[in-house]
Amino acid sequence: MSESIKENLTKIGITPLILPHEKFHLKTRTVEDRKKIPNPYYPKIKKLKLITMITKESLKAGLKFFTKEERKVIFSRPCIYGVFGGPLGGLAPRREYCTGCMRCVLEYPNICTVDRNPEFLKFGDSYWIPKAPSTAYSSPMYVVNYEAKTGKIPIKGMGYKGAFAGDGWDSMWTDMSEIVRPTRDGVHGREYISTTIDLGRKAEFSAKIEQDIAKNSFRIVKIPVPIIFDTMSPLIKEVTVLQSILLASMQIPTLFIETIDAFSKLKTSCDRRLWVPLLKSKNDFEKLINLRYTPLMIEINPEIETLLPEIREQFNKSIVFYRITKSNNFDDIVENFREKIIDGVHIVSNYHGIFSKSGKKQFIKNVIYDLHSLLVNNSIREEITIIAGGGITMAEHVPKAIIMGADAISIDTSVAVALQLEFVGEVINRDHDQLKEEKIDISWGKKRLLNLISSWHSQLIEILSAMGMKDVRRLRGDIGRAMFHYELEQEAFGDLEWR
Amino acid sequence: METLNGVNDKILAKKVAKHSNNIRNGLDVLPSLKYGVPSGMGNVRWTSDLILSTYYQAKNGNPPNNGLNYLTGASKGGFDCIHFKREKEILETEISRTDEKNIDLSISLNKKKVGRKLDIKIPAYGGGMSFGSVSLNFMISRAMAAKELGTLTCTGEGGYPEPLMKFKDHIIVQLATGMFGVREETLQIAPVIEFKYAQGAKPGLGGHLLADKVTAAVAKMRESTEFTSLYSPFPFHSVYSVEDHKKHVDWVKTINPYALVSVKVSTPRDVDMVAIGSYYAGAEIIHIDGAYGGTGAAPEIAKKNIAMPIEYAIPIVHKYLIKEGVRDDVTLIASGGIRTAFDAAKAIALGADGVVIGTSEAVAVGCTHCGNCERGRGCQIGITTTDPELSLFIDPIWGSKRIINMYKSWIIQWRKILAALGLSSIRELVGKNEVLYYKKQVF
């Protein structure tokens, strides 16, 4: 039955990765860390003073010291998280348990201090661990690692602790609705909030769908979450890592962009269907032909733009995306679309979200909106897909990117963090920056990535439900669902004196 | 001590006495900076200076004079970038006994021409913190302080523990979407009934009380099951329009015709429309709770990203209510990230009538803003916990004194502000934003 539905949909140009009536759900379970992330806090104890204090207390107790009860009181320890819970208590503190609660400092300010752990600061680069991590547990590194470990939504007590606003993603807030339709129930499964999106060329507004099908210009791949895995080359060469990504993409299911060279190293028994070949040269194109395989989607670098008609002809069943890493303007995209050469655009910034447009560095958020607006103004936004990648490292960036105009996002360094791959310096540049090459257990890696995607999916649903939305597709480009720092600042403080 | 909360264990009582004394000594010593500023303490919103200066005020009842910055945090936005033009004069102003008598800090919670009149002596009251999210002893501390200060505090959504009954004239009963612990009997004795539509820290997401904190006592109060996570739904499933909301208001007014109705909402883009709708539905108090407000537990994604900070919402709502011609008939209360007396005064100058305080009261009794409230045993100081042992750390009398002292210090600061600005009532400060300036900072 399911297969016949799939077949029928495929006949009309729609390839659903899950069936329309299937509810998206990933089974998650805790997958322990492969290596311990350094604890953000580092308690220090003045041991001599500690011994002196205990001695004084013992002497003060006098003969009572020899009662078990009194000793229990004297040796009772101030930490409820177990930092002093080892056999030697404060003389050998178990620093990994410290949560920065400061109770030991409150009780014994002359003996205890709790510092920021410099090792934690070194664990990621400046985009992942901001230099002033006053919110260690909210730093992207910690959060993404937690998500990959548990598959859960990070929940913490107390209010927000970070900067009031910021550049990039932190310059906007998403909206909510006080009185919404019962979409909140979607979180608990009573109503379904769809996160399925369509990649590819949709039927033109004025065209009959049948005509489009006949002309082979109506091609859609439906994916259940608006998240795909971007290529990790040359950042990651390790086969076990790539294999984990591929297995995770199969189970989700979603797409996985990778170069032909990197993909060819993977086990051939793997289902290649979800692999999106990234073509960087004519040679890649020829290799793909030789593979005698029709991918659902192909992504091409602008360097081989001239080959587009040929690729289109050769792979007329695949959707073709144009990968843009920098641009002078986006006019050629409109032109290529009109010529029915490309079905979508994958706009990719560096790993810190910076995109070079007309020589100016812009944050990816603004670039997405520029491109989205251009397509709207050219009346082709409904037909073409935008995928955005680079600098999208946390769950909150997904709805924000979609609000700015992306249909889907691609993730890159988040995968590396989920798999606990260590950064070598700042990882910004896609061409030469590095991660430490490490072999990982493929099954472990797959589960960590499933946890990550499940957590992000749950958080996307939280955001959608707060707005009363039942379909992520409705969020695309709906900037009325966002509030921007600059605008609110003007609106609220416009009549104050600015100095 | 041995019998408090039913704990009879002698060793436990001794341990609690030892550690609570240590904590209290620490709270007194740390603000003196004898041991310097603890390096791991605080964050950019609640800086170590703000935390230590609140400890100082809670002990001494006046602002610190040892260089601790008790005016602003370091978040580079909002209240931290808004300043009084005459800040220097404010800080130098001396308040005489005559000034104390002549400067009125009271606000009216019912500005309508009909209904019960209810004034509170200071422009602040305690925010909802439920039994379950915080310890009973902390709730009692807050209630005792509210009574002493002539203001109110709020039950939050977790029921009305019996020990609070003797403070009933100072207890707002919260009625939220989960209806946990809501009873007609307690609604009938409330001076104010607060509908919680949403909370600033988790707008549109309802409430969370994680399983570990749902002890037998909490479960009993909430009529639920022990150690099972409790989620308040969002929204009220009987309210999908302003008309539905009016039915709700009518319902509670039937149960308790003397109670004022407060509507607590978060701060979406259309917060101004929500405010006006709530007013026309019959609410006396519109309570807007900004995005950076406190919580016992909330998804990190919600705290930072959903809805606008209160600094933006206040002027937007205030101006809109003026435009609609109803500003003089409704009390606008702001909360969510108001940490200090100066924050409160700035909120009032931006357009609020008064403010609601939660986290600062917790800091007054020793909160370090570490954010472990949601954890199993909860708070290491005994504030946001239901653990029978940890709860004992807050002695209600001691706790209430600290909260009262903090507000005494705030009262001094509010009077200084008003005196320096030539105002005789906090009500004159409402919306007087010409006394402020904004200093934009680069992120």
Q: What is the pLDDT of residues A31-71, one digit of tens each?
A: 999 988 888 899 999 999 999 999 998 998 888 888 888 88
CA distance A68 to A88: 18
CA distance A333 to A367: 14
pTM given for the model: 0.93
Rounded to a whole number, what is the distance in Å from the CA of B259 to chain A's nearest CA? 23
pLDDT of residue B365: 97
B138 interfaces chain A, CB cutoff of 8 Å: no
Q: Please name the amino acid found at residue B272.
A: D
Buried b (16+ CB within 10 A) or exposed e, B42-53: bbbbbbbbbbbb
DSSP secondary structure of B338-370: --SHHHHHHHHHHT-SEEEESHHHHHHTT----
Residue B265, both tokens: 């909402």
Helix/strand/coil for B235: coil
pLDDT of residue B39: 85
A87 interfaces chain B, CB cutoff of 8 Å: no
Which of the residue ranges A131-135, A249-253, A442-446, B179-183 would you say has the lowest mean pLDDT?
A131-135
- CB pair distance less than 8 Å for B75 and A164: yes
How does pLDDT run across A436-487, given as a tens digit for each residue? Answer: 889 999 999 999 999 999 999 999 999 998 888 889 999 999 999 999 999 9
What are the backbone angles phi and psi of residue A178, rounded to the nearest 5°? Answer: -65, -40
Which of the residue ranges A5-19, B175-189, B356-370 would you say has the lowest mean pLDDT?
A5-19
Buried b (16+ CB within 10 A) or exposed e, B14-34: bbbebbbebbbebbebbbeee
* Residue % of chain B over a pLDDT of 70: 98
Report the 10 Å Cβ neighbour count for A382: 12
Give A18's pLDDT tier (boundaries 50, 70, 90). Answer: confident
Q: Please name the amino acid found at residue A184.
A: R
CA distance B44 to B46: 6
Residue appearing with tokens 């002033």: A132
A162 interfaces chain B, CB cutoff of 8 Å: yes
- The more confidently predicted of residues B277 and A336 is B277
Rounded to a whole number, what is the distance in Å from the CA of A489 to chain B's nearest CA? 7
Contact list, A174 vs chain B (CB under 8 Å): 305-307
CA distance A331 to A499: 41
Give A206's pLDDT tier (boundaries 50, 70, 90). Answer: low
Q: What residues are paired with A423 via a beta bridge?
A: A435
Report the 10 Å Cβ neighbour count for A217: 18
- The more confidently predicted of residues B21 and A129 is B21
CA dist A308 → A300, A334, A379 (Å): 8, 14, 23
Residue A203 above 70 pLDDT? no
> Can you give A429-474 as a three-state secondary structure string?
CCCCCEECCCCCCHHHHHHHHHHHHHHHHHHHHHHHHHHCCCEHHH
B201 burial type by CB count under 10 A (0-12 exposed, 13-18 middle, 19+ buried): buried
- CB pair distance less than 8 Å for B305 and A467: no
CA distance B28 to A128: 37
pLDDT of residue A183: 54
Residue A384, both tokens: 């073409």
How does pLDDT run across B82-92, given as a tens digit for each residue? Answer: 999 999 999 99
Identify whether the C-beta of residue A324 lies closer than 8 Å to the C-beta of residue A305. no
Contact list, B297 vs chain A (CB under 8 Å): 155-157
ipTM value: 0.93
Identify whether the C-beta of residue B432 lies closer than 8 Å to the C-beta of residue B347. no
Identify whether the C-beta of residue A296 lies closer than 8 Å to the C-beta of residue A221. yes
Which of the residue ranges A212-216, A335-339, B88-92, B378-382 would you say has the lowest mean pLDDT?
A212-216
Contact list, A190 vs chain B (CB under 8 Å): none
How does pLDDT run across B141-183, given as a tens digit for each residue? Answer: 999 999 999 999 999 998 999 999 999 999 999 998 888 888 8
A467 interfaces chain B, CB cutoff of 8 Å: yes
CA distance A363 to A225: 24
Report the 10 Å Cβ neighbour count for A353: 25
CA dist A406 → A365, A410, A411, B305 (Å): 9, 10, 13, 18
Among B35-44, B282-291, B387-396, name the most confident range: B282-291
Residue appearing with tokens 């397509």: A375
How does pLDDT run across B375-409, given as a tens digit for each residue? Answer: 767 789 999 998 888 889 999 999 999 999 999 99
Stretch (H or E) spanning B24:
helix B10-29
B310 burial type by CB count under 10 A (0-12 exposed, 13-18 middle, 19+ buried): buried
Residue B201 above 90 pLDDT? no
pLDDT of residue B320: 97
Identify whether the C-beta of residue B111 lies closer than 8 Å to the C-beta of residue B333. no
Give A215's pLDDT tier (boundaries 50, 70, 90). Answer: low
Rounded to a whole number, what is the distance in Å from the CA of B209 to chain A's nearest CA? 10
pLDDT of residue A23: 83
Identify whether the C-beta of residue B151 lies closer than 8 Å to the C-beta of residue B171. no
CA distance B173 to B192: 7
Rounded to a whole number, what is the distance in Å from the CA of B148 to chain A's nearest CA? 27
How large is the greatest C-alpha to C-alpha distance in chain B, in angstroms? 64
